[in-house]
Amino acid sequence: MIGHRDVPAGSDRGVGDAHSLGEAMLLRLRADILSTDLAPGSKLALHHLARQYGIGITPLRDALGQLAGDGLVVMESQKGFRVAPVSREDLRDICDIRLRAELMALDLAFDRADADWDRRMKVAHAAFIHNKARVGENTPITAAWEEAHRELHMTLLSACASPTLMRICCQIHDRIHRYRRIALPTKSYMGGISDDHFEISKAAHRRDRESCKALLQRHLVESNRLIEENISFAAET
């Protein structure tokens, strides 16, 4: 993902660059929200952000509108935009929906599994291995780890052939990731369940639907448990 310090500011871009400028703005804001550089609940003042990111108000407003549709930003009537807050109730809600949505997508994926799915799964798993969490590894969860992790999960589900379901899965994954970054500061927390991905991938390649679904369910339940056990909210402290 692209952080706001990685893209140079400037106002001399042509009209033809408007679409790419908007996409870059969306990626930069999303990355900063998911990493919590933009803290949950914080106000997103348009003029301040425009100066910080070196971008115009219109593409900034468009990006915030898209992120609001993804559940990462809240639009407040007459008050502008705010980073979506976090709460235990919201965490439990999205964990439950994630479990249901990913298991549904995986079941549909097995109905349409083919050699191209196998190939893409191998590529995604190989990329994840390079960023794999290990027990005792106390380095922070990085954007590279999360990108490889996200790609592996979404590739597993991608054969479901439902753009609507995939969009839901992607949105929920991003929202869960934000909670994970808050609750689990280092990769060592994920070390004990990282090997699940290998077992899930093996079951997918041998077309063992029930085993693959059971493994994914166990993985998601354990991941959700780790997050909830290690997170605290301001109202509870």
Average pLDDT of the chain to the nearest whole number: 86
Coil/strand/helix, residue 55:
coil
pLDDT for res 198: 92
pTM: 0.82
pLDDT 10s digits, 97-142: 999 999 999 999 999 999 999 999 999 999 988 877 665 667 777 7
Coil/strand/helix, residue 191:
helix
Q: Which of 154, 156, 177, 178 shows the shortest CA–CA distance to 166? A: 154
Q: Which of 84, 87, 151, 106 shows the shortest CA–CA distance to 124? A: 151
Average pLDDT (78-83) is 89
pLDDT for res 67: 95
- Least confident range from 52-66, 100-114, 131-145, 188-202: namely 131-145
CA distance from start to end of the chain: 32
Instruction: Give, for 82, the enclosing helix (H) or strand (E).
Output: strand 80-83
Q: State the DSSP code for 43.
A: E
Q: State the DSSP code for 136.
A: T
Give residue 1's pLDDT band: very low, low, confident or very high (50, 70, 90). Answer: very low
Cα→Cα distances 222→79, 98, 192, 193, 229, Å: 38, 13, 10, 8, 10
- Least confident range from 91-100, 185-194, 200-209, 222-231: namely 185-194
Cα→Cα distances 114→101, 120, 156, 167, 192, Å: 21, 10, 12, 21, 31
The structure tokens listed for 43 are 């106000």
pLDDT at 7 over 80: no
> CB-side exposure of 58: number of CA atoms within 13 Å?
5
Q: Which of 60, 76, 190 shows the shortest CA–CA distance to 133? A: 190
